[in-house]
Amino acid sequence: MRILLTGSNGLLGQKLVELLLQQPDVDLTATSRGRNKLEEVYEALRFVPLDVTDRAQVQQVIAEIKPTYLIHTAAMTNVDECELNQEECWRQNVTAVGYLVGACAENQVHLIHVSTDFIFSGEEGPLAEDAEPSPVNFYGQSKLAAERLVQASTGTWAILRTVLVYGTARDYGRTNIVLWVRDSLRAGKQIKVVDDQLHTPTLAEDLAQGCWLAAKHNATGIYHISSDELFTPYQMALQVADYFGLDKALITRVDANSFTQPAKRPLRTGFIISKAQRDLSFQPHSFKQGIALLNQQSTMV
């Protein structure tokens, strides 16, 4: 199968490149805005620059590559930036998806679109695929609008929703809760961690596996991809401290309203993943296993 990947420079994109290059029957083309961050790691990787907000570029690349599947991971995902710059958020998260949906339908490409738990209100969870969306911030509104564009497509599609993705990647500016807690406690810093939000945290490698399984099984419809363990960030921080033998007394439990952020967060989401487990044979890592993997990756030279 021929797979076209958007957002290959991002966290999920890099994990997908690593995974898909290992599949003997996959002909992969990676795309992203700007230079290819992985060119020194994977010399044989076929890379094509692509700005998904440019309709002409989208149509040209898809027509030339002629993929059987397109895995769309590119998005504006900084929730507060989306709240403060709504026009740009809509351009990247909605307008671009409209271009991809149209080009995929025209060229008979199976579109696999990555979405988020932020389309939900956070009033209850964990949630199954048929839960009613009701976003509480602009990022969630944009991702829900994108989902509706995908669902209205005349082509073949799958939507994979995920929750609180964590992992490490090459030349990647963001940290994650595991390394932030570990490094803060090692430095003797006191940290405040919220204990009134509930999530099923998702290892980036697991989300990449879910995307690959969706293509492999020619999946259609909506799937929830995350771990099956429900934690608050505070509980996650305690697990990180335990794993590394660090001082848990440095961790202070707080409520989300202790922080001033431009965008409201849904308090309780998390996913029921039985559909993905049944239909795709999806099996996520435990959070403890994820901590161990991130530690191993962060210490590699």
Summarize pLDDT for 42-76 with one digit per residue, the tens.
998 999 999 999 999 999 999 999 999 999 999 99
Domain annotation covers residue 47: yes
Domain annotation covers residue 15: yes
Summarize pLDDT for 94-123 with one digit per residue, the tens.
999 999 999 999 999 999 999 999 999 999
Summarize pLDDT for 257-267 with one digit per residue, the tens.
888 899 999 99
Domain annotation covers residue 94: yes
- The kind and range of the H/E element at 14 are helix 11-20
- Residue 144 lies in domain: 2-168+201-228+270-285
pLDDT score recorded for residue 300: 58
pLDDT score recorded for residue 223: 98
Tokens 């790691």 locate to 41
Domain annotation covers residue 101: yes
* Integer Cα distance of 274 and 278 in angstroms: 6
pLDDT score recorded for residue 173: 75
Over residues 268-284, mean pLDDT? 97
Which pairs with CB-CB distance under 8 Å and at least 24 residues apart come from 52-57?
A: 52/6, 52/92, 52/96, 52/99, 52/100, 53/91, 53/92, 53/95, 53/96, 53/99, 54/99, 55/99
Question: In this model, does residue 136 exceed pLDDT 50?
Answer: yes
Number of folded domains that form the chain: 1
Confidence of residue 301 (pLDDT cuts 50, 70, 90): very low
Domain annotation covers residue 255: no
Domain annotation covers residue 164: yes
Q: What's 96's domain CATH number?
A: 3.40.50.720
Domain annotation covers residue 263: no
Helix (H, G, I), strand (E, B), or coil: what is residue 31?
strand
Nearest-Å Rg of the Cα atoms of the chain is 19
Phi-psi region of 35 (alpha: psi -120 to 50; beta: other; left: phi over 0): beta
Both structure tokens of 67: 């993929």
Helix (H, G, I), strand (E, B), or coil: what is residue 113?
strand
Please tell me the number of Cα atoms within 13 Å of 49 on its side-chain side. Answer: 3
- Give the chain's mean pLDDT: 96
Over residues 154-170, mean pLDDT? 96
Query: Out of 5-14, 171-180, 233-242, 288-297, which region has the weakest mean confidence (pLDDT)?
Result: 171-180
Domain annotation covers residue 122: yes
Query: Out of 53-57, 147-151, 179-183, which region has the weakest mean confidence (pLDDT)?
Result: 179-183
**b/e 122-144 (16+ beta carbons within 10 angstroms → b):** beebbbebebebebbbbbbbbbb
* Integer Cα distance of 100 and 140 in angstroms: 19
* Integer Cα distance of 71 and 226 in angstroms: 17
Q: Please list the alpha-helical segments (H only) found in 72-203.
A: 79-84, 86-90, 96-106, 138-151, 177-186
Question: In this model, does residue 9 exceed pLDDT 50?
Answer: yes
Both structure tokens of 279: 């239909």
**b/e 46-58 (16+ beta carbons within 10 angstroms → b):** ebbebbbbebebb
Summarize pLDDT for 15-41 with one digit per residue, the tens.
999 999 999 999 999 999 989 999 999
Percent of the chain with pLDDT over 70: 99
Question: Backbone phi, then psi, for 214, in 5-degree steps?
Answer: -65, -40
